[in-house]
C-alpha cells in the first residue's frame, strides 16, 4: 500500500526490479492519479486492488500481467481509464466493467493477450469483463475480429466468458 490514498499525485513513474512479486493495493484510493508507468511488472503475481478507486486514472503504460495469479479488484471503479499498454499474456480473470472509456485499441490489446492463452486447458476457467460501452464499440466495427465476425463472439469462441 505504498501510495494508497495519496490523492495529490497525478503522474507517477516507477522502475521496479525483476524480483518484485506484489503490488497489492499500491495505488488504492489515489483519486487524483491520472497516469502511471511502472516499468517491469513481469514477475508480479499479486495485483489485488492495485488501482482500485483510482477514479481519475486515464493511462497505464506497459502493464505485464503474464505472471499474475490475482487481478481481483485491480481496476475497480477505474471509471476514467482509457489506455492500458498490455505486455505478454493474461492468464487469469480480468474485470474492466467499470472502465467505460477504455479505447477500442486497448480492448483489442487485452483480447490479444487473452488470445495468447486461449486454447490451453485452463482457458474456459476465466472471465473477462468489459463495460457494455466497450463491447458495443468493439462490435460496432463490424466483422473485423480475427475469425471474421464481431468481437464479442470472438471472445466467446476462445472459451472466455464475458
What burial class does residue 152 get, using C-beta atoms within 10 Å of its C-beta: 0-12 exposed, 13-18 middle, 19+ buried?
middle
Supply the pLDDT for residue 15: 84
Instruction: Report in angstroms the alpha-carbon separations of 63 from 17, 50, 86, 97, 109.
Output: 14, 12, 5, 18, 11
pLDDT tens for the 162 residues of the chain, in order? 789 999 999 999 998 777 889 999 999 999 999 999 998 899 999 999 999 999 999 999 989 998 999 999 999 999 999 999 999 888 888 999 999 999 999 999 988 887 666 555 565 667 788 999 999 999 999 888 888 899 888 888 776 767
Supply the pLDDT for residue 147: 83
Supply the pLDDT for residue 125: 65
Q: Which 3 state secondary structure label does DSSP give 130?
A: strand
Beta bridge pairs of residue 22: 46
Instruction: Report in angstroms the alpha-carbon separations of 52 from 67, 98, 125, 148, 155.
Output: 20, 10, 24, 35, 25
Largest CA distance in the chain: 46
- How remote is the C-alpha of 49 from its chain's centroid? 12
Q: Provide the whole-model pTM.
A: 0.90
Answer yes or no: are the C-beta atoms of 27 and 54 closer than 8 Å. yes
Nearest to 71 by CA among 23, 104, 112: 23
Q: Which 3 state secondary structure label does DSSP give 109?
A: helix
Instruction: Report in angstroms the alpha-carbon separations of 151 from 45, 52, 100, 118.
Output: 28, 27, 17, 15
Amino acid at each position: 500500500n505504498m501510495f494508497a490514498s495519496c490523492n495529490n499525485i497525478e503522474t507517477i513513474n516507477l522502475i521496479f526490479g525483476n524480483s518484485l512479486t506484489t503490488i497489492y493495493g499500491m495505488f488504492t484510493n489515489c483519486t487524483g492519479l491520472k497516469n502511471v508507468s511502472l516499468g517491469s511488472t513481469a514477475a508480479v503475481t499479486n495485483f489485488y486492488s492495485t488501482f482500485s478507486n483510482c477514479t481519475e486514472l486515464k493511462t497505464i503504460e506497459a502493464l505485464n500481467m503474464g505472471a499474475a495469479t490475482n487481478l481481483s479488484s485491480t481496476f475497480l471503479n477505474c471509471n476514467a481509464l482509457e489506455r492500458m499498454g498490455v505486455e505478454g499474456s493474461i492468464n487469469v480473470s480480468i474485470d474492466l466493467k467499470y472502465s467505460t472509456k477504455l479505447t477500442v485499441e486497448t480492448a483489442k490489446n487485452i483480447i490479444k493477450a487473452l488470445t495468447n492463452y486461449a486454447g490451453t486447458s485452463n482457458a474456459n476457467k476465466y472471465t473477462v469483463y468489459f463495460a457494455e460501452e466497450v463491447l458495443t464499440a468493439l462490435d460496432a466495427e463490424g466483422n473485423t475480429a480475427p475469425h471474421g465476425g464481431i468481437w464479442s463472439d470472438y471472445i466467446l469462441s476462445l472459451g472466455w466468458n464475458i
